[in-house]
Structure 1
Amino acid sequence: MSRPGFVLSVDAQTPPLVVFQGEKVLLERMPTGTNVLYPPEPLAGIRSLDAEIEKALNSPVDSEPLAALLKRGSRVTVVFEDLSQPVTSRTAPDVRQRVIEHVLERAAAAGVDDLELIAATGLRRRLTANDLQRLVGERVFASFYPDHLQSHDAEDAANLVEVGRMPDGTPLEVNGRVVSSDLVISVRLATAVGNEGAASVATKLAGARTSRALVSAQATAPGLDPFENLVNAVGGTAQVFTIDVTLTPEPTGPVTAFLSKREREWTLAERALSAGLQAATRVLPSRARLGLAQVAGVGFGVTSVVAGKPSSVHPITQSFLAQQQLGQVDQAADVAIFGIPNPGQVGTALNPVTAATLALGQVFHGPTADPVVRRGGTAIIYHPLTPWFHPLYHPAYSDFFAEVLSQSTDPGVIAAEYEEKFAEDTWYRHLYQTSYAHHALHPFHAWYSAAPAIEHLGDVIFVGGDHASTRRMGFKAASTLADALEMASDSVGLDPSITYVHGAPVSLSEVS
């Protein structure tokens, strides 16, 4: 049992606190009276992962053991999370590989010879051969790639099957291999409270037209659950067996583990290591700093493995994540402060659209049960918002930032005037299907996801943010925390209540 989260009130004896800012790690003195929300300390990782996987597959929740579900002559598909979820280790096999190998051993013993593996990428980019080998391991990769190991293609009309219709008549199209299977085995990395469940799997296997309609329906009718029909349709055509794996909220490793600890408990060695890390991130060029972050973060520990019927497994997973991640504050603050690092597991710096939407997602879906900042309050976010886009992954993001956000930041206007143009563009579609670019709809959906937070807040201020990037997205930039608080004083007064959410956002791994 780990220590629960708690709230620290900053006083004169409080040491400087860790704040992530892109590739940088800062130590900032927070104003006296600031409430610092520390999340629960990470649980210790599982000692014997293989034994835990065996136990989950042999004693699943509300289901027969996996071995009993695998039949000779049956059509089996294994779907697994892609690189938008964190790598659990940079040295040992990834947990996805470990789970898949256990599944394949049982399938072979049962005489299953029609089996495929699909990376549930949704509208995100295809995985390269190296990406796939990194996730499933050399042995599985060599046995199944390329004919029976691939990424989902949301634009492959020949391999999408209609399983129902939306209320407006839009077809619900899903990966044809999944629909035609007798058994679908879903290997999920459950990382964020409020973003779990069957819908998170089904939408990653849907067609682009379906994904677009689902997001539009949710945006226009927030009380509606447009994903329910899709989930029910998939469950109605194939038996689904899910394997949920929960991870520690932050990376573990000898170099960076101390960054998630409470600063008053740092040893002298950890204080010296902090000073060295800060010096390195100040003097190294940005690309080298990104490399430093990737090497320093060893990986995420596994805290639980639960398998069985999806509708029974997901509530257990959700409850476990809540215990592991959620903190609680007495009341929403006038000002909330967040630090956003660049995720080493993705392999590239966050572009400004991704960084902003990730940061704003913390207002409602971060490590608190309720919004940490009041309606009309201010969010102060540490991130440079460097206007850099990966040339291979982000062509649509680059154009969305340059062409769309320069004209409007209003989701309604953007959806009406620009979404169809991007969605129907043959060049973007070509890059998505034949190269490694995100789908053209991806930046639109990311921006829509931030709309509730933008509407909730009075001001959004980025400390260290590029002035052109912040202005284009409708936000403000400040050089220091003191400057940001002075800018916020127009809306929250000269003596606002402040809450700093300590540590990296729990949903950081969802970005790709």
Structure 2
Amino acid sequence: MSRPGFVLSVDAQTPPLVVFQGEKVLLERLPAGASVLYPPDALPGIRSVDAQIDRALAKPVDSEPLKALLHPETRVTIVFDDLSQPLTARSAPDVRQRVIERVLELAAVAGVDDVELIAATGLRRRLTAQDLRAVLGDRVFASFSPDRLRSHDSEATNDLVEVGRSADGTPIEINSRVVSSDLVISVRLASAVGNEGAPAVVTKLASAATARALNSPLAVAQGSADAYGALVDQIGDTARVFTIDVTLSPEPTGPGTAFLSKREREWSVTDRALSAGLQAASRLLPSRKRVGLSQISGIGFGVTSVVAGRPSSVHPLTEAFLTQQQVGQVDTPADIALFGIPNPGGIGTTLNPVTAAALGLGQVFNGSTSAPVVRKGGTAIFYHPLANWFHPLHHPAYVDFFAEALATTTDSGRLSAEFEGKFASDPWYRHLYQTSFAHHALHPFHAWYSAAPAIEHLGDVIFVGGNLESTRRMGFKAATTLNDALEMASDSVGLSPSITYVHGAPVTISEVS
């Protein structure tokens, strides 16, 4: 059990606080009277990961042991998270590799010879050979690539099968290999409260048309999550689904970053020296009091638990464990909430402005189902540069979504009605998705839809250090400093607003008790 989170009231003795801003770290001094919501201390990563994996497979929740489910004639498909979830280690094997290798060993002992591996990429880009090696390791990659290892293709009509219909009659299509399997083993990483749970097997293995039918603003309003849950049950009619959930916790990967995981008032002399080094470096850099995380040792993720079994039983346990580790509570919602947005490790590219905004507004702000930390009509201040840059290989549809669609409207309903169909049917976008490792043309739309509830709830959205063109295009405001942002917010929240800084976002989930 780690130390619980708490709320700190800022006074004259409070040191500058760590705020993540993209790939950089900022040391920010908050106004007196502001509240700082610290999450519970992160659990250290377990040392005996392989032993924990073996225990989870041997004693699963509401399921027979995995060994008992494997027979020579069993048709097995292993689906695993792509790089939208971070690599857990930069030098040691990634935990997905360790889990999958153990599963394959059990399958080999049982005489199973019909095994395929599918990266559950959904509308995200397909994984390159280098990506697959990073996740699975050389041995698994060499044994299964290319014939029995691939990324899901949401446009491959010959590799999809209809399993039902949506509310408007749209065919619901799922990866045919998954539907035809006797046993589907889902290897999932969970680093934040609010992950998809059991329906993730479907959402990341569906066709683009299915994703569009069940993720449009109208479908979400009508409860598409229930539809996905029903599809999981339908798959269960033909295939047994066995999930392996691995929970993650951020942890420093070297001595240069250890102090970033501590509460600032508890910094040692060494920690303060490192902090002073940050400030000294900031004087030599164009941006004040910031230094690239790549210039120090970095932050990775440690494995804190492994749970396996029936998806509907495992997911609540995973959520409860993450909630205990991440959820911090305040008594009342604030007029202004502050969030830092780091660029997550392992996604393969710097965040573009649309993705950064969706991460801040969708995952950070709206990650909890409880009451948000900022009141209705209040202001959210995020720290991120929102650089007007898009990866030329991965983000071609994002470029046009940003330049064309958002230039016309930021309303999700209008975006869906006026632009989504055009993007989804464009043969060039489809070609780039299927052959050139680009995100699907629907991906920027769904990223934006995830931010819509927060945008509707808030009166103002301000990005400290945000690119002026990017913030204006998305309907937000840009500020150079926190003081500038507070001055902008004063028009809607007054000159003496209550302020809460959610320390450590986006891993921290905030809610009102």
TM-score class normalised by the smaller sequence = over 0.9
What is the distance in 1 between the residues matched to 2:296 and 2:110? Answer: 41
2:204 maps to 1:204: yes
What is the distance in 2 between the residues matched to 1:280 and 1:434? Answer: 43
Q: Deviations over 1:261-280 (max 9, x none)?
A: 10000112112223334555
Secondary structure at 1:133 match in 2 = helix
1:127 aligned partner:
127
2:445 aligned partner:
444
Displacement of 1:258: 1.6
1:118 aligned partner:
118
Query: Contact 2:25 / 2:293 at 8 angstroms: preserved in 1?
Result: no
TM-score normalised to the size of structure 2? 0.95
Secondary structure at 1:198 match in 2 = coil
1:390 aligned partner:
391
2:272 aligned partner:
271
What is the distance in 1 between the residues matched to 2:256 and 2:176? Answer: 45
Q: Deviations over 1:462-495 (max 9, x none)?
A: 1111111111100011111111111101100000
Question: Structure 1: which amino acid aligns with 2:237?
Answer: G
Aligned length: 506
Query: Contact 2:63 / 2:310 at 8 angstroms: preserved in 1?
Result: yes
Q: Deviations over 1:18-41 (max 9, x none)?
A: 111112211111011111000111
1:175 aligned partner:
175
What is the distance in 2 between the residues matched to 1:293 and 1:186? Answer: 32
What is the distance in 1 between the residues matched to 2:76 and 2:141? Answer: 17
1:6 aligned partner:
6
Secondary structure at 1:327 match in 2 = strand
1:348 aligned partner:
349
Query: Contact 1:24 / 1:278 at 8 angstroms: preserved in 2?
Result: no
What is the distance in 2 between the residues matched to 1:159 and 1:474? Answer: 40
Question: Structure 1: which amino acid aligns with 2:192?
Answer: A
2:261 aligned partner:
260
2:217 maps to 1:214: no
Q: Which is worse superposed, 13-22 or 360-369?
A: 360-369
2:185 aligned partner:
185
Question: Structure 2: which amino acid aligns with 1:180?
Answer: S
1:176/1:277 Cα in 2 relative to 1: closer, same or farther (>3 Å)? farther
Query: Contact 2:77 / 2:116 at 8 angstroms: preserved in 1?
Result: yes
Secondary structure at 2:446 match in 1 = helix
Displacement of 1:344: 3.2
Query: Contact 1:83 / 1:345 at 8 angstroms: preserved in 2?
Result: yes
Displacement of 1:368: 8.7
Question: Structure 2: which amino acid aligns with 1:105?
Answer: E
1:166 aligned partner:
166
Query: Contact 1:396 / 1:439 at 8 angstroms: preserved in 2?
Result: yes
Displacement of 1:122: 0.3
Displacement of 1:225: 2.7
Q: Which is worse superposed, 371-380 or 42-51?
A: 42-51
TM-score normalised to the size of structure 1? 0.95
What is the distance in 2 between the residues matched to 1:103 and 1:233? Answer: 24
2:132 maps to 1:102: no
Query: Contact 1:39 / 1:367 at 8 angstroms: preserved in 2?
Result: no
Query: Contact 1:463 / 1:481 at 8 angstroms: preserved in 2?
Result: yes
1:175/1:200 Cα in 2 relative to 1: closer, same or farther (>3 Å)? same
1:344/1:297 Cα in 2 relative to 1: closer, same or farther (>3 Å)? same
2:309 maps to 1:308: yes
1:431 aligned partner:
432
Q: Deviations over 1:23-66 (max 9, x none)?
A: 22111110111110001111121121111001000111111111
Name the structure where strand makes up a greater proportion of residues.
2
Displacement of 1:281: 6.3
Question: Structure 2: which amino acid aligns with 1:199?
Answer: P
Displacement of 1:291: 7.5
What is the distance in 2 between the residues matched to 1:366 and 1:259? Answer: 23
Q: Deviations over 1:444-478 (max 9, x none)?
A: 00001101000000000111111111111000111
What is the distance in 1 between the residues matched to 2:283 and 2:24? Answer: 7
What is the distance in 2 between the residues matched to 1:281 and 1:349? Answer: 21
Displacement of 1:284: 6.0
Displacement of 1:222: 5.1
Q: Deviations over 1:348-391 (max 9, x none)?
A: 21100011111112454347943010000000111111100000
What is the distance in 1 between the residues matched to 2:224 and 2:179? Answer: 28
Q: Deviations over 1:411-444 (max 9, x none)?
A: 1111111000000000000000001100000000
Question: Structure 2: which amino acid aligns with 1:504?
Answer: A
Q: Deviations over 1:147-206 (max 9, x none)?
A: 111100000000001111112111110001101100000000012212231112210000
What is the distance in 2 between the residues matched to 1:282 and 1:396? Answer: 38
Query: Contact 1:328 / 1:368 at 8 angstroms: preserved in 2?
Result: no
State percent identity of aligned pairs. Answer: 74
1:470 aligned partner:
471
Gaps of 5+ in 2: none
Displacement of 1:80: 0.4
Query: Contact 2:83 / 2:348 at 8 angstroms: preserved in 1?
Result: no
